[in-house]
Structure 1
């Protein structure tokens, strides 16, 4: 089994872009022994630097059909998360890597069917749902993956958590920014089907700090 949640970006001709594509090498057998993170128990705190995370459980649920959407089957991973910085961060937003849901990597055996697709991550406080993590405020977060009709969920799932680091100043933002702590980089050429232009894309393979195995409730 291997964790993966690829992120893709095509660079324009004769340019180089740096993107996050964690898991691409693992799909092709590129995960090295040195990359193996520590194994921790459910509920044990993991210091990701940008987040302090306790993964506490996982369950499968079905969202009923509505007038606007078909019924959906979801895998939900639950966590208590603390943002130890002085900046508000998110639980889920676009393609940014500095949000909580993008630091979780799901190991998956293809014999169980199509890989679950990350759909959303919501903070929960009472009856309120939100997508931000306030500084130093413990927040219960539900990370949602959509399951296909043919996906078979095992009794346990294993996930990895990535490490982050802060860059003091960015090109576009002098205040600095958070991103994955890179273990290594890989480069490939990608083709943009819309512009028909090709370019080199450098991918960041992040440091993984912990593996956690969670029982799946049904």
Structure 2
């Protein structure tokens, strides 16, 4: 935590370290907030990039272009919701289809590599709820190879959350691991700056176990003005 109470937060599951681990390791399932312990260290601070400039995350090539607050009106089945929406143009440089959003354990989706810098004085942290690709009137959650795609990443706000005039978003850097025994294609993972371990309790099973968290290398910080 900095003097101003600012943290870098990741609205994701606990990342899975894909290395050999002891039998006591328990991977917790469920969405949570990963607080980078002690805030950012000096060596962790990424370069600042202006809105609209492309950031090479290796797994994604990303241009963050804007942010706005949206209100989803109450329906017969849902209550009114207030959202912070981060807008981006994303290109998938691989040969495989990738996702914009997905299951908690799906580490390779675009929204799971985005971090919000958030000041605790602004109230509860926004919660990542969805990331939708948009083409005309069509919404979908996939990134086709080599096709630039407009993506809206949505964070739900509580009534007590105050959205500042600007938000800063950090983007994780990825790396490709060599082929494994079960999957000869290999896999993509956050480029790890370091690993941290802690004991946590699964909210579903109420069992405790050791969790390995990846603290990723950050490719860039982008500060976006927030439209109302």
TM-score by length of 2: 0.87
- Seen in structure 2, the aligned counterparts of structure 1 residues 192 and 55 have a Cα distance that, compared at 3 Å, is closer
Tell me by how many angstroms 1:193 deviates. Answer: 5.7
Q: Partner of 1:4 in structure 2? A: 9
Please state if 1:64 is matched with 2:73.
Answer: yes
1:109 aligns with 2:115: no
| Mapped contact 1:122–1:142 kept (Cα < 8 A) | yes
Cα distance in 2, alignment partners of residues 195 and 16 from structure 1: 15
| 2:61 matches 1:47 | no
Separation in 2 of the partners of 1:81 and 1:153? 24
Change (3 A) 1:196 1:76: closer
CA contact 2:190–2:216 (8 Å) conserved in 1: yes
Pairs aligned (count): 214
Structure 1 segment 1-218 matched on structure 2, within 5 A:
1-5=6-10, 6-8=12-14, 14-17=23-26, 23-26=34-37, 29-95=38-104, 96-192=106-202, 195=205, 197-218=207-228
Task: Give the gaps of 5 or more residues in structure 2.
Answer: 1-5, 17-21
Q: Which whole-Å deviations, capped at 9, do the CAs of 1:52-85 have from their partners, x for residues lacking one? A: 0000000001011111101111110000000001
8 A contact 1:21–1:204 mirrored in 2 = no
Aligned CA RMSD, in angstroms, stands at 2.3
Cα gap change, 1:17 to 1:183, in 2 (>3 Å): farther
Cα deviation for residue 23 of structure 1 reads: 4.4
Q: Compute the TM-score of the two structures, normalised by the length of structure 1.
A: 0.90
Unaligned stretches of 5+ residues in structure 1: none
- Per the TM alignment, residue 170 of structure 1 is displaced from its structure 2 partner at its CA by 3.1
Task: Tell me, in whole angstroms, the C-alpha distance in 1 between the residues paired with 2:205 and 2:148.
Answer: 45
Spell out structure 1 runs of 4+ moving beyond 6 A.
Answer: 18-22
Q: Distance in 2 between matches of 1:151 and 1:22?
A: 16
Between 1:117-126 and 1:186-195, the stretch displaced more is 186-195
1:93 to 1:194, Cα distance in 2 relative to 1, 3 A = closer
Quick check: 2:15–2:212 contact (8 Å CA) kept in 1?
Answer: no
